[in-house]
């Protein structure tokens, strides 16, 4: 009769360990909302055009491998009121689930050129997302099992 303990050991490649650690870190810290990154991109592109580094939107689209239509959508974020642009740039990180406010929603707000109306519409869009925060905090805020 043999006595002893048998233990199964699973070896995880270092690359996979790094990927898991990076994913867990992102979930703890959160990610910058996509609309914030696109707002920053629009500002940066416009500054480069103003300095003469880029000729026009057509050149930007060609260099960045975007369609001119998509570039126009991104650049239309510059039509937002400065205070709304600032709010977009400093949105809180998304820690779980989807971003609270989307670029698509901001495009519909940017169509109205009245800055007061834009501010009102932005506040309304933001407050609509507040009600979902309670749900997200209760059900999606815990990290996945491998991060604990």
> Is position 146 within any domain?
no
> Is position 5 within any domain?
no
Q: Helices (DSSP H) in the chain: which residue ranges?
A: 14-29, 34-51, 57-64, 68-75, 82-89, 103-110, 115-139
> Is position 138 within any domain?
no
Q: What is the pLDDT of residue 147?
A: 42
> Is position 23 within any domain?
no
What domain count does the chain have? Answer: 1
Consecutive sets of 10 residues in the chain, 148 residues long: mean pLDDT of each?
Answer: 59 69 66 95 96 94 94 96 95 90 93 95 88 43 40
Beta carbons of 84 and 114 less than 8 angstroms apart = no
Beta carbons of 75 and 50 less than 8 angstroms apart = no
> Is position 120 within any domain?
yes
> Is position 83 within any domain?
yes
Domain extent, residue 56, equals 31-92+101-131
Q: Which of 56, 113, 102 is CA-nearest to residue 79?
A: 113
Per-residue pLDDT reduced to its tens digit, 46-55? 999 999 999 9
> Is position 36 within any domain?
yes
> Is position 77 within any domain?
yes
Taking the C-alpha atoms of residue 5 and residue 28, their distance in angstroms, rounded to an integer, is 37
Q: What is the pLDDT of residue 76?
A: 96
Q: Is 0.75 surpassed by the pTM of this model?
A: no
């Amino acid at each position: 009769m043999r006595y002893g303990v048998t233990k199964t050991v699973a070896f995880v490649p270092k690359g996979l360990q790094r990927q898991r650690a990076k994913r867990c870190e992102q979930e703890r810290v959160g990610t910058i909302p996509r609309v914030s990154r696109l707002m920053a991109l629009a500002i940066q592109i416009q500054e480069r055009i103003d300095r003469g580094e880029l000729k026009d939107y057509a050149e930007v689209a060609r260099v960045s491998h975007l369609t001119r239509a998509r570039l126009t959508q991104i650049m239309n974020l510059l039509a937002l009121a400065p205070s709304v642009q600032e709010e977009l740039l400093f949105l809180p990180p998304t820690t779980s689930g989807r971003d609270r406010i989307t670029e698509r929603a901001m495009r519909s707000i940017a169509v109205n050129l009245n800055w007061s109306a834009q501010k009102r519409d932005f506040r309304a869009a933001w407050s609509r997302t507040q009600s979902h925060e309670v749900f997200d905090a209760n059900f999606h805020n815990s990290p996945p099992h491998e991060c604990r």
